[in-house]
Structure 1
């Protein structure tokens, strides 16, 4: 896939709009052979600071084996379609591109396991906006350049009461 493939696909995915506020999500991780590795739920909350072009996003993944993964992102909008991201367990900077209903994000990150250890994986993430309140994410996880797992997640914005 190429990000250009989505240029004319609506609705337009504006990262800072979708991830501002509270979100919930759920998903699965599949092994390289397509077997279910684990399930998870997600709680997230983001805040957009327009004056700094910065999205602050906190995500917690709750895995069915009992372990959790906490991510605290600082995402800077560099242009209408380009983003850079930092997170405490990321090596360097995550690079992102948006066009049409898609957002593409790549980075390397230390991922905590249920036994407390951490392993470094490459991430190739694709996000697809369905409507203003729902989005699907698909991530390819690699180790030494070989795909070892895929992660599929579904996010939904929580509605204000």
Structure 2
């Protein structure tokens, strides 16, 4: 017979594992395969774009607002998306994405502050990126994971929401409205 503390510990571990697996369940980009209009990343992120967004912490409080001026261009299956961020505290940042269409709605991307590669997939009006970002925080660099979803609303508008986590703990969310043209 197993001692009671060991049984209790096993039961708690089993419950924790079940909760962890349930937390991983979520939508797949294929869930949106029939949604219209179809999201062609190369077409949307070609030319001048503007994004306006905010970062909310895990409690839902707005921590920072920002505007992003973007310029994208593609040559065949390879593209560059040059992003210039201006934050509500006056700070600025630049990120240059180097993108590659892999076929079948799959994409790969790199940027100087992305650890390894971003991998993405599109279906219907949706696109989903998964990547790790090297994020400066209070003089240190944190490697945070982003689960980044984009939805094409119409030919000129994408809604973007990214869940940010570290070691499986939800840190907050980035929410953006991206519009074609430089006006936004």
From 27, 33, 37, the equivalent of 1:11 is: 37
The 5 Å alignment of 1:5-154 reads 5-50=31-76, 53-113=77-137, 117-154=140-177
Change (3 A) 1:132 1:100: same
Change (3 A) 1:116 1:156: farther
* Number of aligned residues: 157
Larger strand share, 1 or 2: 1
Q: Alpha-carbon deviation of 1:117?
A: 4.7
User: What TM-score does the superposition give when structure 1 sets the normalisation length?
Assistant: 0.92
Higher alpha-carbon Rg? 2
Instruction: Structure 2: give runs of 5+ residues left out of the alignment.
Output: 1-26
List structure 1 segments (4+ residues) > 6 angstroms apart after TM superposition.
none
Larger helix share, 1 or 2: 2
Aligned Cα root-mean-square deviation (Å): 1.5
User: What TM-score does the superposition give when structure 2 sets the normalisation length?
Assistant: 0.81
